[in-house]
Amino acid sequence: MNMMDLAELSRELGLSLPQTRRRLEALFHHLNGQLSGKVTRGSRGKLLVDESVAQMLREIENLARDRGISFTEALRQVHGNADRVVQPSREVSGTVTERNENPDQALAKAVFWGLLAVAIALFAGLTVQALLR
C-alpha cells in the first residue's frame, strides 16, 4: 500500500497545506467517514493518505478547476448530493489507526504527574505551616 503525506499531496495539487486538509475533511465528511482508502497518522504525527484517497482528491480538484466550480460542488457532482440523511454507523471503521503511546511518553507523563502532586503537597504544607504561625 503506497501512502503519501499531506504535504506531498498539497504540493502535487498546488494547494496550501490547510487547503488540502480542508478538502480531505470535506471528502471524509461528504462520504460519512466511509473512504475506500486509508487515512492515518505516521510515526511523527504526519497525516498520511492512501493512494486511492489521493487519487479521489486529485480527480475532484481537477474537475473543480476545469469547470470553474468550487471543490464542494465538484464533490457533489462526483459523489452525489450531500443533502441526504445518513444514519450513523455503530461499527468501528478500519480507516483510522489507534494512536499508541510509546513507553518513553508514558514514563514522562507519569513523572510529570508525580512531580506535580509533590509540588502541590509541598505548597499546601507550607501554606498550612505559614497560617499556623
Show the 3-state SS of the chain.
CCEEEHHHHHHHHCCCHHHHHHHHHHHHHHCCCCCCCCEEECCCCCEEEEHHHHHHHHHHHHHHHHHCCCHHHHHHHHHCCCCCCCCCCCCCCCCCCCCCCCHHHHHHHHHHHHHHHHHHHHHHHHHHHHHHC
| pLDDT cut 70: percent of the chain above it | 79
pLDDT tens, position by position, 89-108: 444 444 555 556 678 888 89
pLDDT of 88 > 50? The answer is: no
Look up the CATH number of domain 3-79.
1.10.1660.10
**Whole-model pTM?**
0.54
